[in-house]
Amino acid sequence: MPADQDEAKGCVLFADVSGSTKLYEAVGDKLAHAAIDGCVKMFASVTERNGGRVIKTIGDEIMAVFPDATAGGRSALSMQQELAVMAPVGNLRLGARIGYHFGALVERDGDVFGDTVNLAARLTEMASRGQIITSFETVEHLEPVLKMDCRRLYAIPVKGKDKEVAICEMIWQESDEVTTLATQRAAPRSGQHSLRLVYKDRTIELPKERKSLVLGRDATTDLVIPDRMASRAHCSIEVRQDKFVIADRSANGTYVLIDGDKGMVLRREEALLRGHGYITLGQSRETATEVVEFFCE
């Protein structure tokens, strides 16, 4: 890529160590820092082996750029695979959230800028622990063998873009669930997983009771949350292809905290719910008095 300020094509990847906060609490600063530093160094090594360049590291996250989408995809797979075989620290294993996107870049003074960087960062925020998220546009640029590892999820609205962006998950490990989803993408599985929402003395289960529901301050919503920061119809949760998708519709954003991951704020955006966590409307869990707990079972 040019060294000054020219626009070129490139693939930007973010890899974020997941579970670092819990690790610090469990094993102390010294061991946790050493383990996270080892992960970040592994990310950098994988980047260099695949012809990429580390742009920056920020705490437990790395930002890298590659000459093409295939190099970025190979690196994402290798990072997850190498992290999976690392020895646990104490009784805990670290994971990673990875997002990458191929597109136009502006490079200046060794850094890269532009929509490609912003979208790659957004895809990383949407990834859960152990997940690789990329755009459908990027998948179109992958070598055939890597395309086979990708499955399309859904489209998300992205700030500054007129059209929604279709996103895909890159599968890096075999499982019965992945095999079933790959061969029967639209068909519900027997024994389909459920999402249980608990708010005060009320429990709602999807898809048993319904396929979707709306949370908000208005009395007509499916789950009424009387928070002053909540919008009337604040967010929705629906079942899509055996996954649970939360979509923000609000003025103040929907806050989602998944165990082992950093919290995320959705602003007219969507995300997958996994495992166990908490949803708050218009403000973070630290300040909210109305908290919805969820369990993907």
Q: What is the CATH number of the domain that holds 229?
A: 2.60.200.20
- pLDDT band for position 291 (cuts 50, 70, 90): very high
Would you give the distance in Å from CA 189 to the centre of its chain? Answer: 24
Give the percent of the chain with pLDDT over 70. Answer: 91
Regarding whether 33 and 164 lie in a shared domain, the answer is yes
- pLDDT band for position 185 (cuts 50, 70, 90): very low
Query: Which range, of 36-40, 90-94, 126-130, 181-185, averages the lowest pLDDT?
Result: 181-185
The pLDDT value given to residue 4:
47
Regarding whether 13 and 158 lie in a shared domain, the answer is yes
- pLDDT band for position 75 (cuts 50, 70, 90): very high
Number of domains within the chain: 2
Q: Does the structure show a pLDDT above 50 at 179? A: no
* Maximum C-alpha span of the chain: 60
> What average pLDDT does the structure give for the chain?
84
**What is the mean pLDDT of the segment spanning 84-101?**
86
Regarding whether 144 and 50 lie in a shared domain, the answer is yes
- pLDDT band for position 6 (cuts 50, 70, 90): low
Q: Of 104, 139, 173, which closes a domain? A: 173
Regarding whether 200 and 264 lie in a shared domain, the answer is yes
Q: Any idea what the CATH number is for the domain that residue 126 is in?
A: 3.30.70.1230
The pLDDT value given to residue 44:
94
The pLDDT value given to residue 18:
81
In a domain, 2, yes or no: no
Domain range for 256: 195-296
Q: Does the structure show a pLDDT above 50 at 184? A: no
Regarding whether 140 and 230 lie in a shared domain, the answer is no
Rounded to 5 degrees, φ, ψ at 160 are 90, -5
Q: At what angle do helices 69-84 and 29-49 cross, to 10 degrees?
A: 140
Closest to 198 measured CA to CA, from 292, 65, 92, 296: 292
Query: Which range, of 63-72, 87-96, 111-120, averages the lowest pLDDT?
Result: 87-96
In a domain, 44, yes or no: yes
- pLDDT band for position 29 (cuts 50, 70, 90): confident
The pLDDT value given to residue 174:
55
The pLDDT value given to residue 7:
65
For residue 150, which amino acid is it? C
In a domain, 168, yes or no: yes
